[in-house]
Structure 1
Amino acid sequence: MIQLTEFEQKLLETFKLSDRDARRLLRVIQDLSIVVGMDHEEIYDFMRFGVENELEILKTDYNWEHFRIRIQKKLKKSPPL
């Protein structure tokens, strides 16, 4: 069994993931953090309430790169004028 960090454990419990998928989600969050300039907790808070559809798509196609891109687009979306 993989030893998970506290944050990975939180991801596992919140999103009902396997150990392996919790680690993958952490890597996605780390990549997003670099690209969009938000910290891990901010992205986690956004994901808890804003990515239900993307998580469902991920469960069917298991394409983590497309999942990251979809979340990144949502996070970088500029506010309406």
Structure 2
Amino acid sequence: MFSHLAGVKLVHVPYKSGAAVITDVLAGHIQIGFGTLLSTRSHVKADRLRHLGVSACERSPAAPELPTIAESGLPGYEVDQ
């Protein structure tokens, strides 16, 4: 859904954990990854990662300053878990 709405081609790479995704993003092995606020926030605060937005239809109470992906320019994008 993200790649379709953003108009970009992405290759799905299955990972066993969110930590492995973050490790590969930080190392430059992959350019983009999806993670939880809990697993990414410390890296964002240390300027090692950048949040694009939350995937829910509303901003997270845990990070109200972070826009939704829809607010960031991809209207119609929403993934709730």
Q: TM-score range by the shorter chain?
A: under 0.3
Which protein has the bigger helix share? Answer: 1
Report the TM-score when normalising by structure 2: 0.25
Report the TM-score when normalising by structure 1: 0.25
